[in-house]
Chain A
């Protein structure tokens, strides 16, 4: 269980409250009886081996996968009723970057939820998107065709789109995957800033070595939730060996011992 202060007993709802969640694809369980609770302002990494259900956990929190059993609440409500307060950064490789569209256009998609059916993005939405591009240091790429972007730029475009959503809770699927060191730093500081402003972040993360540096909380997942807590509490060798079946590389540094 995660909380920044003793808000747990106050009336303020948790940012994410997952209880006994089971999700299956076909007959295989992707998530098994998972419990995850995140207080507002949490900056949490979802860690676990391939096929552990990390993306599925995000999708369940977004309310886009059918659940077999269990309950998901985002800010105290069903995810379907909280879409305007939630932003999503899918895996960068899940889309075709040769799609005929521009950087600005993709970022403006972050306003579509607010616009609702039929309405077109206008000057306001454009300004919002340009602001987010500025924040991600992409302003001069606004008119660029997206097939011309590097991996790091693609990732920052997706993050800019999430910023435009102006959400309270951010679900991200491997935002650090395949980016260079400079981009990695700028993404890390973006996450830190968001958390400082009270936004909640739940992000799938693969690089165990950087978990303690970039995140304050960790969800250790392998179909079932193995541990949830602050990085200090749960991100130690014992838990990780269990999570990865003893195949954790020795160079994963500095767990809770510091």
Chain B
């Protein structure tokens, strides 16, 4: 088929490269969040990042007098807000009788609500702050707004996170699988926990421009959940999840460029969900079809792949 976008529109190249990288990084990092059952943590980070993004925009405007929506300004804001909400949630659950989920939920509400509030305030300023019109895109994502500088931000932050993942692979693996044993080896569990959080925050922050703070969690968890269906090795799972994320990212950018009016972020997320649904159905051993077949072959006994610890 002949598609007009194949003529390498430079904007599209930037956008597609960005969404692909975002998908790959969040797919890989999402595996650890998935295995540690910290999906909610990722969700809190991304929602909280809205306050950081808008706050950084306001602050940059107040200091420099000119407004900037470049990631170089907004990412530090998102990093600070995301980390702060996690730290606050942790200290609330340590000091009160609220459990982890409840305190995370409270922080999500406070930071996301605060972000929406600040956003509305910015939009009502008169004279209007130049550049503010793009800020609300962070809620649902606006991949098309990605610039070359933004792309470098995504590459450097995402690449840094993946490099750390690679270097500390065996430490992060044993810490995720068996935290008590890893402590007995002398690994600093508190610092590894913080590192995991930092990687998660980095993965979230580089993705929010593309898919927005609300849908970001889908890009973290869905590729990981899909990859888990196909493999029983952590390394394969991470590589697969990265490829699934990258595929969804690239596909989302190209599809939304080919058809006017298709929003990139939601398309990326829907593609990732489609990959997940296919995996859930078709994967050998763990897939629904394979398990139904095995069950029929065994009579009513469930197949061994279905069980964890009893």
Knowing that A90-B178, A102-B232, A147-B232 are A-B contacts, what are 9 other residue pairs whose CB atoms are under 8 Å apart, sorted by A's residue number?
Answer: A96-B309, A99-B35, A100-B234, A101-B173, A105-B233, A112-B182, A121-B170, A145-B305, A161-B181
Query: A64-B184, A98-B308, A100-B237 are contacts. A109–B178 as well, Cβ < 8 Å?
Result: yes
Closest to A83 in B: B186
A-side contacts of B167, CB under 8 Å: 118
Query: A96-B308, A100-B233 are contacts. A90–B186 as well, Cβ < 8 Å?
Result: no
Closest to A88 in B: B184
Asked whether B195 is an interface residue with its Cβ less than 8 Å from the other chain, the reply is no
Query: A80-B186, A86-B184 are contacts. A93–B234 as well, Cβ < 8 Å?
Result: no
User: What's the tally of chain B residues with a CB closer than 8 Å to chain A?
Assistant: 31
Asked whether A97 is an interface residue with its Cβ less than 8 Å from the other chain, the reply is yes
Query: A93-B309, A97-B308, A99-B35 are contacts. A62–B170 as well, Cβ < 8 Å?
Result: no
A-side contacts of B309, CB under 8 Å: 92-93, 95-98, 151, 154
Partner of A120, one of B170, B228, B234: B170
CA distance A254 to B183 in the complex (A): 39
Assess whether A151 is in contact with B310, with CB atoms less than 8 Å apart. yes
A-side contacts of B180, CB under 8 Å: 59, 64, 88, 90, 94
Assess whether A83 is in contact with B228, with CB atoms less than 8 Å apart. no
CA distance A6 to B233 in the complex (A): 51
User: What's the tally of chain A residues with a CB closer than 8 Å to chain B?
Assistant: 37
CA distance A105 to B308 in the complex (A): 17
Q: Which of B179-202 contact A (CB under 8 A)?
A: 180-186
Asked whether B256 is an interface residue with its Cβ less than 8 Å from the other chain, the reply is no
Query: Taking the nearest CB of chain B, how far is it from the CB of A30, in angstroms?
Result: 15
B-side contacts of A97, CB under 8 Å: 308-309
Query: A64-B184, A83-B185, A100-B232 are contacts. A109–B308 as well, Cβ < 8 Å?
Result: no
Asked whether B159 is an interface residue with its Cβ less than 8 Å from the other chain, the reply is no
A-side contacts of B183, CB under 8 Å: 62, 64
Per-residue CB contact flags for chain B residues 161-175 toward chain A (1 = under 8 Å, else 0) read 000000111110110
Assess whether B185 is in contact with A94, with CB atoms less than 8 Å apart. no
From A99, A117, A118, residue with most partner B Cβ within 10 Å:
A99
Asked whether B231 is an interface residue with its Cβ less than 8 Å from the other chain, the reply is yes
Partner of A112, one of B174, B237, B304, B308: B174
Query: A99-B35, A101-B233, A120-B170 are contacts. A106–B185 as well, Cβ < 8 Å?
Result: no
Asked whether B117 is an interface residue with its Cβ less than 8 Å from the other chain, the reply is no
Per-residue CB contact flags for chain B residues 268-310 toward chain A (1 = under 8 Å, else 0) read 0000000000000000000000000000000000001101111
A-side contacts of B152, CB under 8 Å: none
Closest to B171 in A: A117
Asked whether A241 is an interface residue with its Cβ less than 8 Å from the other chain, the reply is no
Asked whether A148 is an interface residue with its Cβ less than 8 Å from the other chain, the reply is yes
CA distance A100 to B305 in the complex (A): 11
**What would 22 A/B residue contacts be, using CB atoms closer than 8 Å?**
A83-B184, A83-B186, A86-B184, A90-B178, A95-B178, A96-B177, A96-B309, A98-B308, A99-B35, A99-B234, A100-B228, A101-B177, A101-B232, A102-B233, A109-B174, A109-B178, A117-B168, A117-B171, A118-B167, A120-B170, A154-B309, A171-B184
CA distance A101 to B236 in the complex (A): 10
Assess whether B177 is in contact with A99, with CB atoms less than 8 Å apart. yes
Asked whether A127 is an interface residue with its Cβ less than 8 Å from the other chain, the reply is no
Asked whether A76 is an interface residue with its Cβ less than 8 Å from the other chain, the reply is no
Query: Taking the nearest CB of chain A, how far is it from the CB of B175, in angstroms?
Result: 10
Assess whether B234 is in contact with A94, with CB atoms less than 8 Å apart. no
Per-residue CB contact flags for chain A residues 71-96 toward chain B (1 = under 8 Å, else 0) read 00000000010010010101011111
Q: Which of B26-65 contact A (CB under 8 A)?
A: 35
CA distance A181 to B83 in the complex (A): 50
Closest to B169 in A: A120
B-side contacts of A86, CB under 8 Å: 184
Assess whether A113 is in contact with B233, with CB atoms less than 8 Å apart. no
From A100, A101, A102, residue with most partner B Cβ within 10 Å:
A100
Query: Taking the nearest CB of chain A, how far is it from the CB of B288, in angstroms?
Result: 16
Assess whether A148 is in contact with B305, with CB atoms less than 8 Å apart. yes
CA distance A178 to B176 in the complex (A): 24
A-side contacts of B308, CB under 8 Å: 96-98, 147
Assess whether B177 is in contact with A106, with CB atoms less than 8 Å apart. yes
B-side contacts of A161, CB under 8 Å: 181
Asked whether A1 is an interface residue with its Cβ less than 8 Å from the other chain, the reply is no
CA distance A115 to B171 in the complex (A): 11
Assess whether B231 is in contact with A113, with CB atoms less than 8 Å apart. no
